[in-house]
Amino acid sequence: MKSSMPIHVLAKPSGAACNLDCAYCFFLSKSQLYPGAPAMMSDKVVEEYIRQLCNSNQKSVTLSWQGGEPTLVGLDFYRRAVSFAAKYRRPGQTIQHTFQTNGLLLDDAWCTFFKEHHFLVGLSIDGPQSMHDAYRVDRNGVGSFKQVMHALSLLRKHRIDFNLLCSVHAANVDHPAAVYHFLRDELQAQYIQFIPIVERVNADQLHLANRGWKNDALQPRPLYTQSGDQVTERSVDADRYGRFLIAVYDEWVRNDVGAVFVQTFDVALGSWLGQHNLCIFSPTCGNAVVLEKKGDLYSCDHYVEPDYRLGSICETEISTLAASKKQRRFGLQKSDGLPNYCRQCDVLFACHGECPRNRFRTTPTGEANLNYLCAGYQAFFRHIRPTMDCMAALLRQNRYADEIMQLLAPKTKHNDPL
């Protein structure tokens, strides 16, 4: 059986290898899955990846590159990938490349290539320097902020489409205004993603996990798996994360609708219109899989661990693996595993229990599988309900969502029926 749904494959050509040692990056531990493996994805695997996606029934194919750090495999790797895409692209089919990077290795050659082949680049930055450098450090513990800012200047110089990915963690969660103003005003970002850092661990691993995830000879780190009910000291707190989102939203909805696109807010508006545009806030999941450098396909970026390996794309087609019973069970469990507390929640339509990786708390009545971030998301979605109701109504009337800013602007009186 092959999947009839669009499949999103996140390819990791360098595996878990990275030139940073970000303290909260659990993926660094995934190098333990492939001891002694080659440093990069082979041409055989990358050609199979591209051939199989192009031979699917999708009119638009997205080739997504991430890591680890994907620049570590070198520019020639992506030149070959682009050639494979041209070789296998079907008539009328469009191909989009997305590329998530820490920016350290970007130079004019990389950016010229990105521009020529219309890559959409995601750059990771966690806010102003003190917040970014708190955890995003190199192997010597030195912050990477200045190098990331240089990378951003290169992306602007070459007029490359980019978005900014900002992880929200203990060092910046209490500073939403500073973070948002920095991204919007100083960096002039138009597209922003906020990712909450939740490092889930067992109690007996907590002391090691608090030191970070990079393995070393003196102090081996555990392989990160989705287990345990403790979190590291870097992780966000649910209530504080909710307050972070609320503060940024209140600034955005009054000033930036239609000018700055914040993924969480755009996806929420889609939910108010009955659309599900992001796996974590959808009723089910399972259509976003991960390709490791040896050709192994996993259920999800957050479940790159032995129990969630679906098979090798060198032996079985991606579409077949994505439609397997194992993967369908994985995707349906997002809905089937919801506690009654969630099923009765007034904002279930917007949240759908968020990502299963974060479901390790119990409800007030003792049910399992409550999301660790539940309190924060409840507060956020309830807070935005009035303005989301209004923007959804505007769109249903074939008006523009950004009219909400006029309706919220201080004035003595207005007669708008909304």
Strands 200-201, 288-291: pairing kind: unpaired
Could you give the C-alpha distances from 219 to 16, 208, 264, 281, in angstroms and in order?
18, 8, 37, 37
Report the alpha-carbon distance of residue 39 to residue 34 in Å, rounded. Answer: 10
User: Which long-range contacts (C-beta less than 8 Å, at least 24 apart) are formed by 362-365?
Assistant: 363/339, 365/340, 365/341
Strand-pairing partners, residue 309, are 298
Helix (H, G, I), strand (E, B) or coil at 97: strand
The catalytic position among 174, 239, 301, 402 is 301
Tokens of 16: 């878990």
In this structure, the dihedral spanned by the alpha carbons of residues 167, 148, 134 and 192, taken in order and rounded to 10 degrees, is -20
Cα gap 17→168, rounded to integer Å: 22
d(CA 14, CA 286): 23
Residue with tokens 């030191």: 211
Task: Based on the residue annotation, tell me whether 107 is a catalytic residue of this protein.
Answer: no
Instruction: State the Cα–Cα distance between residues 373 and 241, nearest whole angstrom.
Output: 8
The set of catalytic residues is 301
